């Protein structure tokens, strides 16, 4: 017995202390999540999360208010130009750490596995995210961004023009990689994971081209003349040719991100209503507030009890029962998020020649069709003296109509407003913190201020004035002589 | 049995003979009976010595003695093992004496690390033992809470007054940053699981697993306070260890000492201790909304800035025409009286070859929040047996079933019904109407009627239509075999497992108001399984050399494995209303599953040297291999050395000094990390949680995303060094006892999740960087103030602990790291104690006065400001026990000094205009007292002019609360009457005629009175955060309860 016990203990000790290296190494591999995955599987999350952040986090609760498409009824911080830090921070941290990083991972993996189409889509999406970040904040990391895995923890900030040029280069590279013939190859599984086009690489090509239009237009505003490039693209087939080409994500299995916030079909949250700036503009010459001259308002907003469309003043608390909710057709469970619409391309074309009536009317008409209305509805609206084209006020009308057409795409509407200066927006009521100006940008992320201080300081130099506040202007915006719309 | 009886009889016969002999020789006879002053039991075997002589006797089986005393003025000296020596005058013929148990018996043995029993006096570190009685009298659902205020250095924060709520436990402060800072819990030698269980963020608190214990089963709880004491447990005991020993049927006392049945019944009634005070002059609405204007606007507000409650007529949320009246008691009426009922039965039997104990218990609790309940059923069997001359075994099996019914959510969360009652509320709301009609559906929206149709659910809907239930089945099994190879060498094998399954179900009835996707019904169905296995194999040798030296050595091997599996199912929308079955989910169920496995293998050794029973030295060493670390850093070694010197042995002539010991120890310790922290994985992407907004599957595709934490393949173990020195002094026959410990523990290379710029593609990474130092002092004082010969006694026990924690280093280039967020942020800040609050703040001038703009409004500070540190300065407990014969009365006062608490209850009540403070609403508005500032330069600069511009009251209080969190941060100091208990043991005279060997009756009150507090409205002790390391947050906490109860214990 004694011997058995002593030997037993001895065997136990020896057997356990014999290298458990292999056993432990295997044990410490997560059974729950993959360390490695096919590149295309990362695309769907990029698409879904980007849509969520731009439509809700940077859109409805921030830029939708600042471009006065919507107004807040309660919790007025953002609507009074006092945006909460965490609201601004989440846009940056989520777009970079989730969407942008996944693009980098997908791009590298696709390159490694020779999946050019997947790589191309990742590049386009990366460019799209980078464009939105730089437009919202100013100079941002792009070349060195998303490379934490490679040891770059504190990436440098690239000047906005550099960022825009890099995006164009990425888009060009993507276009060159795209191979429509193999777009739906079974290896890539794009019909499943490409939630925008289901692997239709022709359409991706057009999306990339249309994005270049946006970027060139921005460069123009910043004083770098890209008119020739824009005109070349406009006359090519490399951009959206019809509504069928538009880049959008339709929510099928889970609702549109704003649905839960403002879905008016049931009395859920009532934090937002339609802004009076939008309603008053779209009424046109109509004096009957149940019959707006611009019929799109009946899509964008729901009437209040007596059939009237009534907007509320930005910055003023309340209006739950007295102001129109955002449209039930627009913010329904399955409403799409537009990455970019065909009508925007037509508006860019119109902007290039503000004396061209046909371009203006074509863009407006397309916007009606995009919203499920008819050409006749557009014609009726264009007959309203307020909206009827004249060469003298072409620039103003185009700017205003583009602003209307970008309803639901708050960030791009905000970009367009800063580029064109239209419409002239009166600042929100009680907007003390910006000295009465509509914000011109979103502040940098708080962690970035604490942890990437030196690089951020360089980035701040790209702002006018060089101060990380929401009233400073980003590079493309700086040439405007004044804070138009803020007088 | 017969044999024992025979042997006992022989022994006593011998004693009587001795006695008889004494009588023959002497003239004056003194008789008497000796009893235990506490239990009133008669004591056999007590030595009675006539002072200054060699005349002595021993009490008989009935505790009686007869002794001859020669001459006048003599005294009798009574002594017995485990009792304080007592001297009484022998001036009468009958001297009945009560002697009392020594405050701490000098021969006392305690269970130390890895289950080694040691003589307490030989230990070179601080440990404190709490006897089972202390947790069985004034009952607490959670055994741990019974230790509150009784152990120096043990810090317990209960999370709320909800049924079955958990408690946050630390010993000597936090040793790590964001990891587990709770001490290791060990039951009968087996480390058990005591991690918080939270299946979803904001979900109800399912309590610490340690609360699964049946208090009646506990023999003793020994608290090994620091790393020196717990060094042999290795990495898991970096935060000290709490060692629970359960009863096993050995050492039964009293009439039926070979077979005993004990029955215990307890009942208590619980009421909310403290409720907020509300204003009763204004009703629901924003900016004076008039409920009678027909717009229905007021209803969309969840605040009370509406029209004055002047009795005007209006149509309420149910379309009922009623009057606009105050409802001063609406919140008070919501709460009900809670009950706790305990029944415990145990059967024990023992002889010299072993013992058996079987126990059954039930605990049923109904909460003060309606329709909430908690139940716990336990059964246990412990068997000790000497199998052969050399082989003995101890086997124990415990099964516990806990069931929570509708545990309310905690914190700022929609599951917490108080979120919509304390702050977000209309003061005109009639609670009875909500209660009577909670199930009514508004046909136009399809949602249930509520006073506010957009943000909140009717609290009764939450509790009755959307209930939750949870269940945990847990088996703790241990087996130990001891084999005496030689008389000096013993082999021990101990194996144990802690196995539990958990489930939690939360339903959402169709018609739920919520900005979520649960309006069409849905549910969460979460399940989990945890298994911990632990095996120790030890060889222990012990030798004594010439009575002068003793040497004990232990060599051991430890294997530890923990696995957990969890699967969480979320269903949004039901095809068949009311049928909560995943088969009938309207949308694809969202299922997440997680498993983890971790193993640690350890080798350890202990050598104890003793010299003449007054000088002891311990050296321990342990090496662990953890599966969670990379292979190159997997092995880590930590030694410890400690010693004790009982100097009183050298000062035996100093009668006033009963015992004196100096002790000191130094230990090194290491700690590993959680599984899967070395590689960044791709996880299922989701945005929004509980319920999810975007999640896999999304439009038929998997959402796969790179984890936001950049994992570190080079992680090392955390390392710590701890030094402690202390003394244990007893004076005047142990009537006064003082125990003082100073400790200094530094942990470094702490695995820190540090934020990194998100532009790197990751938001955080794990590094070995942090360094934290905890030093402090613990003092325990025991004083027997009065001990009269008539049996009156007054004992005072005081414990004091001051821990000064300091974050020495966070990480290179960083001065703080993020810990938790609940509106305010909690950070670990370099140079400060654990937990610093940051939050919204306004601009102030150099004198600390707030700045206002020209319109009289406060100006937001763009950077969150420091609000204060949550760590208290010290804690103190004072226990007084008075006893007279069989009657005893004790009360415990608990004092916490300092620390800050961020009270969201106060914040939102001010914001929403429900607090009593907001009742005064001048028409002209209120003035922010501060200086007017100007922003024309782009920076706000004080103009030097005091602000006189009034702003609306609603804006004033809104900004006061939400822009300036300073106003919601309070000093957490409190003094509390924690416990009062009255106990009575039926006297021998009555018991004698009964079939019982002991009957005890107790009355008690717990959490009776907040004697002092600076926090308005709430119990300052309640910490409503669910997170295991976050303290200092109070958020709509379920109020703590005042319990008054009675206990009956019968021993057959």
Contacts of A48 in chain B (CB under 8 A): 685, 687, 694, 698-699, 703
> What CA–CA distance (Å, rounded) separates A297 from A367?
12
Question: Per the CB < 8 Å rule, is A253 touching B588?
Answer: yes
Res B350: pLDDT: 82
Q: Which of residues 248-307 of B touch A (CB under 8 A)?
A: 286-287, 295-297, 300-301
Question: Per the CB < 8 Å rule, is B587 touching A253?
Answer: yes
Confidence of residue B515 (pLDDT cuts 50, 70, 90): low
Average pLDDT over residues B656-669: 92
Question: Per the CB < 8 Å rule, is A74 touching B539?
Answer: no
A337 lies in some domain: no
> Of the candidates A48, A100, A141, which has its C-beta nearest B694's C-beta?
A48
Of residues B56 and B373, more confidently modeled: B373
CB of B519 within 8 Å of any CB in chain A? yes
CB neighbour burial string for B521-552, b if at least 16 within 10 angstroms, e if fewer: bbbbbbbbbbbbbbbbbbbbeeeeeeeeebeb
| Number of domains composing chain A | 1
Res A468: pLDDT: 92
Q: Which of residues 485-504 of B touch A (CB under 8 A)?
A: 485-486, 491
SS3 at position B257: coil
> What CA–CA distance (Å, rounded) separates A442 from A411?
11
CB of B1016 within 8 Å of any CB in chain A? no
Question: Which of A57-71, A92-106, B1014-1028, B1029-1043 is predicted least confidently?
Answer: B1014-1028
Confidence of residue B26 (pLDDT cuts 50, 70, 90): very low
Average pLDDT over residues A366-388: 96
A66 lies in some domain: yes
Res A193: pLDDT: 94
Total beta-carbon pairs less than 8 A apart between chain A and chain B: 277
Average pLDDT over residues B995-1000: 86
Q: Which of residues 644-703 of B touch A (CB under 8 A)?
A: 675-676, 678-685, 687-688, 692-695, 697-703
> What CA–CA distance (Å, rounded) separates A285 from A275?
18
pLDDT of A12 over the 70 cut: no
> Of the candidates A12, A30, A149, which has its C-beta nearest B681's C-beta?
A30
Q: What is the pLDDT of residues B584-609, one digit of tens each?
A: 998 888 888 899 999 999 999 999 99
Confidence of residue A184 (pLDDT cuts 50, 70, 90): low
A302 lies in some domain: no
| Nearest chain B residue (CA) to A26 | B627
Contacts of A146 in chain B (CB under 8 A): 759-761
Average pLDDT over residues A323-347: 88
A411 lies in some domain: no
Average pLDDT over residues B499-523: 86
Q: Which of residues 285-324 of A touch B (CB under 8 A)?
A: 317-318, 320-322
Contacts of A148 in chain B (CB under 8 A): 710, 756, 760-762, 765
Of residues B695, B682, B678, the one with CA closest to residue A102: B682
Q: Which of residues 339-378 of A touch B (CB under 8 A)?
A: none
> Whole-number mean pLDDT of chain B?
86
**Other CB atoms closer than 10 Å to residue B289's CB: what's the count?**
23
Q: Which of residues 395-434 of A touch B (CB under 8 A)?
A: 432-433
Of residues A333 and B984, more confidently modeled: B984
Of residues B212, B252, B260, the one with CA closest to residue B398: B212
pLDDT of B661 over the 90 cut: yes
A400 lies in some domain: no
Average pLDDT over residues B554-577: 92
Of residues B23 and B350, more confidently modeled: B350
Contacts of A52 in chain B (CB under 8 A): 687, 693-694
Give the rounded percent of residues in chain B with a pLDDT score beyond 70: 92
Res B592: pLDDT: 87
Strand spans (E) along A288-418: 337-340
| Nearest chain A residue (CA) to B295 | A321
Given its phi and psi angles, is residue B791 left (phi above 0), alpha (psi -120 to 50 degrees) or beta? left
pLDDT of B1026 over the 70 cut: no
Cross-strand pairs, B569: B525, B591
**A201-221 and A227-234 helices cross at what angle (nearest 10)?**
150
Res B14: pLDDT: 45
Res A433: pLDDT: 67
pLDDT of A485 over the 50 cut: no
Q: Are the beta carbons of B377 and B362 closer than 8 angstroms?
A: yes
Q: What is the pLDDT of residues B818-876, one digit of tens each?
A: 888 888 988 999 999 988 999 999 999 999 999 998 889 998 887 889 999 999 999 99
> Of the candidates A102, A141, A318, which has its C-beta nearest B287's C-beta?
A318
A140 lies in some domain: yes
CB of A52 within 8 Å of any CB in chain B? yes
| Separation of first and last alpha carbons in chain B | 18
pLDDT of A9 over the 70 cut: no
Confidence of residue B13 (pLDDT cuts 50, 70, 90): very low
Average pLDDT over residues A356-365: 97
> What CA–CA distance (Å, rounded) separates B504 from A172?
53
Res B690: pLDDT: 54
Contacts of B301 in chain A (CB under 8 A): 74
> What CA–CA distance (Å, rounded) separates B34 from B23?
19
Q: What is the pLDDT of residues B894-914, one digit of tens each?
A: 999 999 999 999 999 999 999
A114 lies in some domain: yes
Of residues B34 and B336, more confidently modeled: B336
Question: How close is the nearest chain A Cα to the Cα of B918, in Å?
Answer: 19
CB-based contacts of B153: which residues, under 8 Å, 6+ apart? B126, B171, B172, B223, B225, B741, B776, B778, B801, B803
Confidence of residue B129 (pLDDT cuts 50, 70, 90): confident
Q: How many residues does chain A have?
A: 487
CB of A15 within 8 Å of any CB in chain B? no
SS3 at position B608: strand
Question: Per the CB < 8 Å rule, is A33 touching B692?
Answer: no
Res B204: pLDDT: 63
CB-based contacts of B193: which residues, under 8 Å, 6+ apart? B185, B209, B498, B500, B530, B532, B562
CB of A49 within 8 Å of any CB in chain B? yes
Of residues B444 and B137, more confidently modeled: B444
Of residues B514 and A386, more confidently modeled: A386
A330 lies in some domain: no
Which of A253, A446, A447, A465 has the most B C-beta neighbours within 10 Å, making it the best mutation to test the interface with B? A253
> Of the candidates B557, B682, B762, which has its C-beta nearest A97's C-beta?
B762
**B904-911 and B953-962 helices cross at what angle (nearest 10)?**
160
pLDDT of B54 over the 80 cut: no
Confidence of residue B942 (pLDDT cuts 50, 70, 90): very high
Domain that holds residue A177: 9-248+439-486
Q: Which of residues 82-111 of A touch B (CB under 8 A)?
A: 82, 85, 92-94, 96-98, 100-102, 104-105
pLDDT of B815 over the 90 cut: no
CB of A332 within 8 Å of any CB in chain B? no
ipTM entry = 0.92
Confidence of residue A4 (pLDDT cuts 50, 70, 90): low
Question: Which of A119-123, A314-318, B281-285 is predicted least confidently?
Answer: A314-318
Q: Are strands B816-822 and B792-809 parallel, antiparallel or unpaired?
A: unpaired
pLDDT of A386 over the 80 cut: yes
> What CA–CA distance (Å, rounded) separates B326 from B609?
75
pLDDT of B561 over the 90 cut: yes
Q: What is the pLDDT of residues B388-428, one digit of tens each?
A: 999 999 999 999 999 999 988 777 777 788 988 999 999 99
Q: Is B20 exposed, middle or buried (0-12, 13-18, 19+ CB in 10 A)?
A: exposed
CATH value at residue A180: 1.25.40.390
Q: What is the pLDDT of residues A72-92, one digit of tens each?
A: 988 888 999 989 888 999 999
CB of A393 within 8 Å of any CB in chain B? no
> Whole-number mean pLDDT of chain A?
90
Strand spans (E) along B874-997: 874-884, 887-897, 900-903, 926-927, 930-934, 941-946, 950-951, 969-971, 974-985
Q: What is the pLDDT of residues A463-481, one digit of tens each?
A: 998 999 998 999 999 876 5
Res B4: pLDDT: 43
Give the rounded percent of residues in chain B with a pLDDT score beyond 90: 51
Q: What is the pLDDT of residues B172-192, one digit of tens each?
A: 877 777 767 788 888 888 888
CB of B455 within 8 Å of any CB in chain A? yes
Cross-strand pairs, B448: B441
> What CA–CA distance (Å, rounded) separates B229 from B695?
48
């Amino acid at each position: 017995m004694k011997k058995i016990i002593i030997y037993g203990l001895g065997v136990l000790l020896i057997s356990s202390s014999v290298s458990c290296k292999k056993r432990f190494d295997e044990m410490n591999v997560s059974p729950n999540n993959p360390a490695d995955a096919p590149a295309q599987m990362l695309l769907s999350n990029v698409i879904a999360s980007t849509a969520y952040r731009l439509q809700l986090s940077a859109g409805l609760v921030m830029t939708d208010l600042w471009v006065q498409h919507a107004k807040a009824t309660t919790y007025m911080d953002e609507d009074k130009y006092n945006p909460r830090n965490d609201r601004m921070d989440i846009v940056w941290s989520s777009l970079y750490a989730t969407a942008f990083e996944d693009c980098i991972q997908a791009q590298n993996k696709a390159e490694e596995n020779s999946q050019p189409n997947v790589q191309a889509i990742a590049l386009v999406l990366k460019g799209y995210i980078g464009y939105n970040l730089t437009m919202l904040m100013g100079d941002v990391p792009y070349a060195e961004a998303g490379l934490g895995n490679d040891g770059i923890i504190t990436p440098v900030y690239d000047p906005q023009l550099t960022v825009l040029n890099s995006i164009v280069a990425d888009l060009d590279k993507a276009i060159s990689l795209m191979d429509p013939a193999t777009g739906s190859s079974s290896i890539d599984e794009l019909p499943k994971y490409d939630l925008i086009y289901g692997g239709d690489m022709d359409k991706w090509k057009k999306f990339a081209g249309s994005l270049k239009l946006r970027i060139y237009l921005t460069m123009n505003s910043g004083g770098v003349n890209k008119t020739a490039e824009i005109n070349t693209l406009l006359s090519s087939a490399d951009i959206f040719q019809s509504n069928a080409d538009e880049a959008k994500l339709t929510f099928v299995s889970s609702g549109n991100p704003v649905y839960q916030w403002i879905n008016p079909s049931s009395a859920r949250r009532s934090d937002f209503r339609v802004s009076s700036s939008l309603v008053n503009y779209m009424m046109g010459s109509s004096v009957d507030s149940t019959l707006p001259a611009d019929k799109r308002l009946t899509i964008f907003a729901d009437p209040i009890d007596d059939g009237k469309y009534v907007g509320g003043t930005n910055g003023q608390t309340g209006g739950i029962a007295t102001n129109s909710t955002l449209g039930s057709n627009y913010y329904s469970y399955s409403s799409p998020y537009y990455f970019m619409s065909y009508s925007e391309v037509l508006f860019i074309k119109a902007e290039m020649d503000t004396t061209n009536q046909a371009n203006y009317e074509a863009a407006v008409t397309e916007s009606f069709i995009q919203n499920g209305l008819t050409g006749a509805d557009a014609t009726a609206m264009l007959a309203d003296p307020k909206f009827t084209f004249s060469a003298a006020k072409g620039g103003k009308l185009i700017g205003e109509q583009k602003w209307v057409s970008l309803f639901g795409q708050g960030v791009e509407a905000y970009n367009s407003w800063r580029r064109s200066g239209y419409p002239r927006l009166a600042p929100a009521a009680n907007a003390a913190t910006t000295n009465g100006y509509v914000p011109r940008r979103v502040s940098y992320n708080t962690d970035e201020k604490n942890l990437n201080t030196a690089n951020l300081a360089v980035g701040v130099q790209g702002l006018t004035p060089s101060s990380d506040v929401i009233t400073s202007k980003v590079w493309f915006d700086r040439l405007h002589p004044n804070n138009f719309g803020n007088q | 049995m017969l044999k024992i009886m025979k042997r006992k009889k022989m022994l006593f016969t011998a004693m009587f003979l001795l006695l008889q002999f004494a009588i023959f020789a002497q003239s004056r006879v003194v008789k008497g009976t000796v009893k235990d002053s506490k239990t009133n039991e008669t004591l056999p075997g007590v030595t009675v010595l006539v002072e200054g002589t060699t005349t002595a006797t021993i009490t008989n089986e009935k505790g009686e003695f007869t002794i001859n005393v020669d001459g006048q003025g003599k005294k009798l000296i009574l002594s017995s093992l485990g009792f304080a020596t007592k001297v009484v005058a022998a001036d009468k013929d009958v001297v009945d004496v009560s002697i009392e148990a020594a405050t701490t018996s000098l021969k006392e043995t305690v269970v130390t690390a890895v289950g080694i029993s040691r003589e307490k006096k030989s230990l070179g570190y601080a440990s404190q033992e709490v006897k089972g009685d202390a947790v069985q009298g004034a009952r607490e659902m959670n055994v741990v809470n019974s230790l509150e205020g009784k152990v120096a250095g043990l810090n317990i924060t209960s999370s709320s007054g909800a049924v079955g709520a958990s408690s946050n436990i630390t010993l000597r402060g936090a040793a790590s940053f964001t990891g587990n800072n709770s001490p290791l819990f060990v039951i009968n030698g087996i480390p058990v699981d005591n991690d918080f269980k939270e299946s979803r963020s904001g979900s109800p608190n399912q309590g610490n697993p340690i609360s699964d214990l049946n208090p009646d089963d506990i023999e003793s709880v020994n608290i090994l306070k620091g790393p020196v004491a717990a060094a042999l447990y290795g990495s898991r005991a970096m935060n000290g260890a709490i060692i629970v020993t359960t009863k096993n049927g050995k050492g039964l006392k009293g009439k039926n000492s070979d077979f005993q049945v004990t029955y215990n019944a307890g009942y208590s009634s619980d009421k909310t201790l403290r409720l907020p005070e509300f204003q009763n002059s204004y009703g629901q609405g924003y900016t004076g909304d008039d409920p009678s204007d027909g717009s229905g606007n007021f209803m969309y507000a969840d605040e009370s800035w509406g029209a004055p409650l002047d009795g005007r007529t209006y149509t309420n949320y149910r379309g009922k025409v009623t009057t606009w009246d105050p409802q001063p008691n609406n919140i008070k009426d919501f709460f009900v009286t809670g009950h706790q009922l305990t029944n415990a039965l145990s059967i024990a039997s023992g002889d010299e070859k072993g013992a058996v104990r079987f126990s059954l218990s039930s605990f049923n609790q109904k909460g003060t929040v309606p329709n909430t309940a908690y139940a716990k059923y336990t059964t246990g069997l412990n068997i000790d047996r000497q199998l052969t001359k050399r082989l003995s075994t101890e086997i124990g099996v415990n099964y516990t079933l806990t069931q929570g019914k509708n545990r309310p959510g905690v914190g700022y969360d929609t599951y917490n019904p108080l979120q919509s009652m304390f702050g977000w509320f209309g003061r005109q709301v009639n609670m009875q109407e909500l209660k009577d009609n909670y199930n009514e559906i508004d046909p136009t929206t399809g949602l249930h009627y509520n006073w506010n149709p957009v943000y909140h659910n009717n609290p009764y809907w939450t509790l009755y239509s959307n209930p939750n239930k949870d269940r945990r089945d847990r088996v703790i099994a241990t087996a130990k075999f001891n084999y005496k190879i030689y008389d000096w060498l013993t082999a021990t094998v101990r194996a144990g497992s802690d196995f539990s399954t958990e489930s939690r179900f939360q339903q959402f009835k169709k018609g739920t108001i919520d900005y979520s996707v649960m309006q069409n019904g849905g549910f969460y169905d979460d399940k989990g399984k945890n298994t911990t296995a632990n095996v120790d194999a030890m060889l222990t040798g012990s030798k004594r050399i010439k009575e002068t030296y003793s040497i004990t050595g232990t060599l051991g091997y430890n294997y530890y494995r923990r696995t957990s599996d969890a699967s969480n199912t979320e269903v949004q929308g039901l095809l068949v209303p009311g049928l909560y079955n995943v088969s009938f989910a309207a949308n694809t169920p969202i299922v997440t599953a997680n498993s983890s496995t971790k193993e640690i293998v350890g080798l350890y050794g202990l050598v104890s040297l003793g010299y003449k029973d007054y000088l002891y030295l311990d050296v321990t060493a342990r090496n662990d291999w953890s599966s969670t670390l990379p292979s190159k850093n997997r092995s880590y070694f930590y030694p410890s050395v400690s010693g004790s010197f009982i100097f009183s042995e050298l000062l035996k002539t100093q009668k006033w000094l009963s015992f004196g010991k100096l002790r000191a120890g130094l230990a090194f310790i290491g700690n590993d990390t959680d599984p899967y922290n070395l590689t960044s994985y791709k996880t299922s992407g989701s945005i929004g949680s509980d319920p999810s907004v975007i999640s896999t599957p999304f439009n038929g595709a998997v959402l796969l995303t790179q984890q936001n934490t950049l994992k570190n393949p080079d992680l090392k173990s955390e390392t710590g060094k701890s030094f402690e020195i202390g003394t244990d002094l007893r004076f005047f026959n142990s009537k006064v006892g003082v125990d003082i410990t100073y400790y200094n523990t530094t942990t470094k290379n702490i695995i820190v999740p540090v934020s990194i710029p998100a532009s790197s593609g990751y938001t955080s990474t794990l590094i070995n960087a942090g360094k934290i130092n905890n030093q402090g002092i613990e003092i325990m004082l025991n004083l027997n103030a009065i001990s009269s010969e008539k049996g009156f006694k007054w004992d005072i026990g005081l414990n004091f602990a001051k821990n000064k924690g300091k974050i020495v280093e966070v990480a290179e280039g960083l001065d703080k790291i993020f810990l938790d967020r609940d509106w305010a942020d909690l950070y670990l800040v370099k140079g400060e104690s654990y937990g610093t609050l940051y939050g919204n703040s306004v601009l102030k001038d150099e004198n600390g006065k707030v700045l206002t703009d020209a319109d009289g409004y406060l100006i937001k500070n763009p950077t969150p400001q420091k609000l204060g540190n949550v760590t208290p300065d010290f804690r103190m407990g004072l226990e007084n026990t008075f006893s007279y014969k069989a009657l005893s009365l004790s009360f415990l006062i608990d004092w916490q000094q300092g620390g800050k608490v961020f009270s969201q209850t106060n914040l939102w009540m001010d914001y929403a205009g429900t607090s009593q403070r907001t009742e005064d609403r001048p028409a002209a508005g209120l003035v922010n007292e501060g200086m007017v500032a100007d922003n024309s330069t782009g920076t706000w600069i004080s103009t030097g002019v005091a602000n006189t511009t009034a702003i609306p009251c609603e804006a004033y209080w809104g900004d006061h609360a939400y822009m300036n969190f300073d106003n919601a941060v309070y000093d957490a100091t409190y003094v509390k009457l924690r416990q009062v208990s009255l106990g009575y043991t039926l006297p021998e005279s009555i018991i004698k005629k009964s079939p019982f060997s002991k009957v005890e009756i107790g009355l008690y009150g717990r959490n009776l009175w907040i004697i002092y507090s600076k926090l308005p409205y709430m119990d300052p002790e309640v910490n409503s955060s669910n997170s295991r390391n976050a303290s200092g947050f109070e958020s709509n906490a379920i109020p703590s309860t005042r319990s008054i109860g009675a206990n009956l214990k019968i021993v057959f």
